[in-house]
Amino acid sequence: DPVRRPFRRVMLKLGGEMFGGGQVGVDPAVVKEVARQIAEVAADGVQIGVVIGGGNFFRGAQLSEEGMDRSRSDYMGMLGTVMNCLALQDFLEREHGIDTRVQTAITMGQVAEPYIPRRAIRHLEKGRVVIFGAGVGMPFFSTDTTAAQRALEIHAEVVLMAKAVDGVYDRDPRVFPDATMFAEITHREVLERGLQVADATAFSLCMDNSMPIIVFNLLRDGNIARAVAGEDIGTLVHT
Ligand code: UDP
């Protein structure tokens, strides 16, 4: 397979909800587990960038439905992602001795570096895991879009979309027990069938720039390593 192969530089997107273990805040047991899976791959010499969502704290769109100004609530959302980044950094460094840098799109020099693409690449080359916080720094965007944009800018070979399901199905598997999962599918077919892989902005960035996406289940132990090794797990979305 020309697309599935052992990757050397990947962008991993984690949802915030997972980090909270279903609650508001950070669940240390979950972060520890995710850090272990990332450390395993990093120790193998794979270069890893990580984007974490903020759904366990604030989603801008939800808060604005309750009357807040959308931009302000989106900034709250971005700040939430930074807390997740710091938690992951802590577990990677303290438990696993993996050098890690957090770079944020909103400057906050006391807790993280600013996002500097060339420096991020340098960190990756030195074997450091780079965690990108505060989204792209702009309201009305998402962390899916951040993962796509950062993947393109740092020349990652693939976006690994970690989910709580095994991959992309032709129908909602929670509603239709006979739904079937795609082993691979093209970006175009995802659009034509109206399937949900990432939000529209993130997805079109990937499609327009031929960035492959692997949607996979993070809850199965060792799946990050399998995806990175080019094994046949989850759904590969490609050009
Ligand atoms: N957000 C934003 N711009 C960005 C990234 C995130 O405004 O570039 C805000 C937005 O309010 C979003 C929240 O941060 O709802 C948390 O991110 P997201 O919803 O993507 O997190 P996830 O669903 O992956 O946990």
| 170-228 residue pLDDT tens | 999 889 999 999 999 999 999 999 999 999 999 999 999 999 999 999 999 999 999 99
- The single residue listed with the structure tokens 């900034």 is 75
Query: Is ligand 1 within 6 A of the CB of residue 63?
Result: no
Res 2: pLDDT: 72
Res 3: pLDDT: 87
Task: For the chain, list the domains and their CATH numbers.
Answer: 9-238 (3.40.1160.10)
Closest ligand 1 atom to Cα of 55:
25
- Reported confidence tier of residue 157, pLDDT bands at 50, 70, 90: very high
Res 187: pLDDT: 98
Distance 97 CA to ligand 1 centre (A): 29
Q: What is the mean pLDDT of residues 94-110?
A: 98
- Amino acid 49 reads G
The mean of the pLDDT values for the chain is 96
Res 198: pLDDT: 95
Paired residues of 13 in beta bridges? 51, 161
E strands present in 37-138: 47-52, 100-104, 113-114, 129-133
Which residue of 26, 81, 197 sits with most ligand 1 atoms within 8 Å of its CB, as the best mutation to test the pocket? 81
Cα dihedral angle (21, 22, 24, 26), rounded to 10 degrees? 10
- The single residue listed with the structure tokens 């990050």 is 224
Q: What is the mean pLDDT of residues 149-165?
A: 97
Res 128: pLDDT: 98
Query: Is ligand 1 within 6 A of the CB of residue 74?
Result: yes
Distance 78 CA to ligand 1 centre (A): 6
Spatial CB neighbours of 161, under 8 Å, sequence gap ≥ 6: 13, 144, 147, 197, 198, 213, 214, 215, 216
Paired residues of 160 in beta bridges? 12, 214
Yes or no: say if 123 and 114 are a contact pair by the CB < 8 Å rule. no
Closest ligand 1 atom to Cα of 140:
7
Q: Is the pLDDT of residue 1 over 90?
A: no
pLDDT tens digit sequence for 6-51: 999 999 999 999 999 989 999 999 999 999 999 999 999 999 999 9
Res 58: pLDDT: 92
| Percent helix / strand / coil, the chain, rounded to 5 | 40, 20, 40
Distance 62 CA to ligand 1 centre (A): 11
Query: Is ligand 1 within 6 A of the CB of residue 138?
Result: yes
Closest ligand 1 atom to Cα of 139:
7
Res 98: pLDDT: 98
